[in-house]
Structure formats: C-alpha cells, structure tokens
Structure 1
Amino acid sequence: MTDEPACPLPDDLPTPPPARRVARAQLRDGAVAEGMRAVPEETPVALTFNGTTHAVMMASPTDIADFALGFSLTEGIVGAAAEIESLDVIVVEEGIEARMWIAPEKMARLAARRRALAGPTGCGLCGVESLAEAVKPAAHVTAATRFTSAEVLAAMAAMAPAQALNHETRAVHGAAYYEPGAGLIALAEDVGRHNALDKLVGAAARLGLDPGRGLLLLTSRVSIEMVQKASVLGVGVIAAVSAPTSLAIRTAEAAGITLCAVVRADGFEIFTHPQRVALGPHEGQETHVA
C-alpha cells in the first residue's frame, strides 16, 4: 500500500494548511480590541474505492492517508492495511480525495452494503438494515494489560501539551495512544472527534502497533461510535476527558473494554471492566466499582 502518489498528478494542488489566521474583533470587560486568531481549517475529504466515492467527510487536512486507512478499518471495508492495494492522496480544487483500490470481491461487498442501506430520497439511511448498522456490536477485545491509576493520569497529562493544532486554535479534538514507559506513541487531531480516532487507528496500523499494550486517550465525550472504533483498534482501556453516553457504556461492557471518563488531574471515573485499572490506595488489589 502506498500513501502518496509516485509523482504529482496533473490536478494535484498544495495541501491546505491545518489552521489559518483570521481577523476578529474581541470584546472583553466592555472593551473592544482588533486582532487576529488562528482557526482550524475544515476541508471536504472524499474517500473513494475503485473509482467510486463512498463518503465525503469534513475533516482537518492533515494525516489524510491515516484517516483513509483508519476509516476503511473501522467501517469494516477492509480487515487489514495490506488489503488496500493502493492509496493516493490528491488535493483538488474542491478539497482532498483519498483514492483507494481494493480487491474486486471486497468492492462488490461494499457496493451491496450501500444498496442495502439506501433509503428513499429525503429519508437518508432508512429501514431495519440502517438501524442495525448504527448499533452493531463492537468487536470483543481481549487485551489483558493492567494499569495503575497513576499511569492513566500520567497518560492524560501528557496529551494536552502534545496537541499542537489545538494549542494553536483551541478548536479541535484529539485521539492518542499511550504506553507506560514509552509515553505517547501516536496522536491525531481533527475538527471531528470520529475523524481524529480514525486517523489514530490508521496510524496504529501503519506503524504496526500492538494497542492491547496501552491506553486510548480521547479529548471528547465517548459515544457508541467511539467505542466501536476503539474495539477495531483493539485497545483494552479508553480514557476520556468527558463523560460517556449510556449506550457507549453498554457497548463497552459487551465488548470487554474498560471505560474511564471524566479524567482530571485529581482522578477519574470508571464505568466498565474495572479489573484493568487499579484504583485507590492499594494499587495491586482487585478493584470494585460501587
């Protein structure tokens, strides 16, 4: 699989910057001041397979090859990075295209799935098939690595300083992979929280990581889609700064994923499978959630 074309294609343009500085008027304490602010770029990204557009996502124009790979994995279009025969990232006038080629039989299954999910005009994705797709069970995770509460807190503390785009704009989400003793191994940022996680999944696949050894860190709330994507990644523990939804908790429970949320400098809450995280004063003892 390649993540860049061998040579620039005729319609290839420069990649948009991830952030731009714009003029703004600021009101503080009744006083108005003129100045500039960095804001994140939001770019249409078309994900195409064998010449057919499957989805167009609004995303930050960074790590697009990782995004395309991660999306392909978390959506079940492919089961491994090697199943994408080629991947070219092309910047065009309207946005960015991630052009992928997969085996004909996989493309046939993708086309059949799209036909099954196609609803009437104005209805979007309708019917039993689309409902089942929305709440499909997450893959079961068997990662056995255990962590101390101090390691969870240290992981989250390491994330914010590493988020360069968010430090500049204060307007993007982050997803990161952390291993105790090694620190942050991969981090992705995007205007969309799902996109950030897809980029991280793609980076993990590209780097050949074993996510069962570490923690997935999220700067967003945890919804069912985030748990579903985490299960594809294969990570045993999710640690997020915001709270989870009830469906995300049920999905994490069924998938065997430890879900930690509302992570702050002084502690966090754990909702599912607490055996992977030692809480309280006796770090080595079995943990029970009240």
Structure 2
Amino acid sequence: MTGPGSIDMDFRRLPASGEPATVARAVAVERPVAIEFNGIGYAVMMATPADLADFATGFAFTERLVARADQIRAIDHVARDEGELLRVTLTAERAAAVTERARHRIAESSCGLCGIENLAQAIRPLPAVEAVARAEPAAIFRALAALRARQPLNRATGAVHAAARCSAEGAVLAVREDVGRHNAFDKLIGAMLREGAEWDGGFALLSSRCSYELVEKAALAGCPQLVTISAPTSLAIERARACGLKLTVLARPDAMLEPAA
C-alpha cells in the first residue's frame, strides 16, 4: 500500500539464523504540517499527510477557534519540500478568537505543557457532556473486533493510531488514521463536523492510551463515551468525571475497565 499515508522502503532483514536478505516494507509517512489561521502561524504538528481538510477542521474546533464547520471559509493545502502548509480562512466573527488564542496558546510537547505564564490556562473548563451513552459492553466488543479491518494504513505499516466513530450498536461508521493519536481524533471530529454527523448515543474508539487531551477533545465534540484500547492517566479520569464523559479503558477482546465513580 502506498499513498499519502505510506511509502515503500527497503530493509535489511537479519534473521536469528540464516542469511540476511533485503525486504520491502510499507512505512508510515510522518511530516511537519503547519497550520495558519487567517494568515497567523498557529502550530506545526507532526502528522500523516492524509485527510488534511478533516484535520484542519477538527483542530480548529478542538482549539475552540470555531464552533461549527461553516465558520471555516476555506482550507488551502500547499505541499512543500519541507512539509505541508494548511492555510485556513475563518469567518470575520472568529478572527478575534484566533488572535487571542495565538497570544496565549500553550506550547505543547508530547509529555506536558511549557510556559509558566500559561499555567492558569492549562486546565480550561470543559462543557458538560449532555449526550447519553447507550452502548452496552457487547457493542464495544463488536466494534473492537471490526476495527482492524477498517485500519488499512496500520495494517500496512503497524505504526499509526486510529480514531473511530461507532454506533450504539457497535458498528464502526467512520475511521481516521494518523501517526499521532491526537491528530487521528482531530481528523475524525473534523470529518463529523464537515459531514454534519452526530454521535447518536454511540462512542469514540481510539487505539491509544487515554490521555487528558483526548478526554477534552471528546467532551468538546459532545461525545457521550470515550473508549480506548490502552490505559488512562489520572488526569484523564479526573477530567472525564468533571464533565460527565463516560470512560471505558483497556478495552480488549475479553474484558474492559470503567473507572469506579
């Protein structure tokens, strides 16, 4: 499989016994993706350069720059040798939000937050999750069993995360993949906004650990239930409790966990 998400590369296979051999393997593409809003440089993310319009839309939403897809007037993608550039034009009513957020934006790393002046903004209030989760455990097991078949890029490379929208009955309705778990979820949320899709009592299924950022994205998107394949952090559990998001973690084919109230 080759495309915007993967490339074929040669490797030297070194077996425990026998002679080395050259083998071809698909490798996940990871490139810098710079995002501008109304001409203001906002962020550079390391991402898989696929579904970039979904990514820009979801990122704008989870950064609280827009509340609806129609507040995005245009998304222009410029491919450069050094990476991808997304020039996003928001409506005039959202221009002030861009300027304000860019001024106070938290500098993010993979493991924390930088910038002492931003500590007060590190844990911003979340909207209460009003939607009701309707999925029974059997539905989650059903979605888990179906997810792998909906992850073509990960099947080819073994190196990307997936974020899936699942119905209350456990049908996998949409999937987005990316080298970054946050990016995959932003892509899924963006796709839902652009399509006008709703959760309808279903859940998000993520092939990652449950970090507080993913809880926040789920809450902002009005998702009633977040299911992750790996374990949660303490802050993720705290944030989910505070906003009323139902969490299911360590979801495996034979069992899953829900944090006790």
Per the normalisation by structure 1, the TM-score is 0.82
Q: Is the 8 A contact 1:137 1:228 kept in 2?
A: no
- Unpaired runs of 5+ residues, structure 1, are 1-15, 274-290
* Paired-residue identity, %: 40
Distance 2:105 2:78 in 1: 28
Give, in angstroms, the shift of residue 21 of structure 1.
1.1
Match of 1:18 in 2: 5
CA RMSD between the two structures = 1.9
Deviations 1:65-108 (A, max 9, x none): 00000000000011111111222222233222221111345223
Deviations 1:203-242 (A, max 9, x none): 1111111114211000000100000011122111111110
Q: Between Structure 1 and Structure 2, how many residues are aligned? A: 253
Match of 1:78 in 2: 66
Deviations 1:14-51 (A, max 9, x none): xx721111111122324433211111011111111112
Q: Is the 8 A contact 1:253 1:272 kept in 2?
A: no
How is 1:190-201 mapped onto 2 (pairs within 5 angstroms)?
190-201=178-189
Match of 1:29 in 2: 16
Q: Which of residues 263, 266, 286 is equivalent to 2:251?
A: 263
1:102 equivalent in alignment to 2:90: yes
Q: Which of residues 177, 183, 191 is equivalent to 2:171?
A: 183
Distance 1:270 1:226 in 2: 16
- Structure 1 stretches of at least 4 aligned residues deviating more than 4 Å after TM superposition: none
Q: Is the 8 A contact 2:74 2:88 kept in 1?
A: yes
SS across alignment from 2:241: helix
Distance 1:116 1:154 in 2: 42
Q: Which amino acid aligns with 1:97?
A: L
Distance 1:28 1:106 in 2: 57
Moved more, 224-233 or 80-89: 80-89
Match of 2:232 in 1: 244
Q: Which of residues 200, 203, 206 is equivalent to 1:215?
A: 203
Distance 1:116 1:268 in 2: 38
Distance 1:153 1:54 in 2: 39
SS across alignment from 1:266: coil
SS across alignment from 2:250: strand
Q: Which amino acid aligns with 2:59?
A: F
How is 1:34-113 mapped onto 2 (pairs within 5 angstroms)?
34-113=22-101
**For the structure 1 residues 118 and 239, does the alpha-carbon distance in structure 2 shift closer, same or farther, using more than 3 Å as the test?**
closer
Q: Which of residues 106, 111, 115 is equivalent to 1:126?
A: 115
- Unpaired runs of 5+ residues, structure 2, are 108-112
SS across alignment from 2:121: helix
Distance 2:106 2:9 in 1: 40
Per the normalisation by structure 2, the TM-score is 0.90
Distance 1:46 1:159 in 2: 30
**For the structure 1 residues 55 and 269, does the alpha-carbon distance in structure 2 shift closer, same or farther, using more than 3 Å as the test?**
same
**For the structure 1 residues 209 and 110, does the alpha-carbon distance in structure 2 shift closer, same or farther, using more than 3 Å as the test?**
same
Deviations 1:232-256 (A, max 9, x none): 2211111111000010000011111
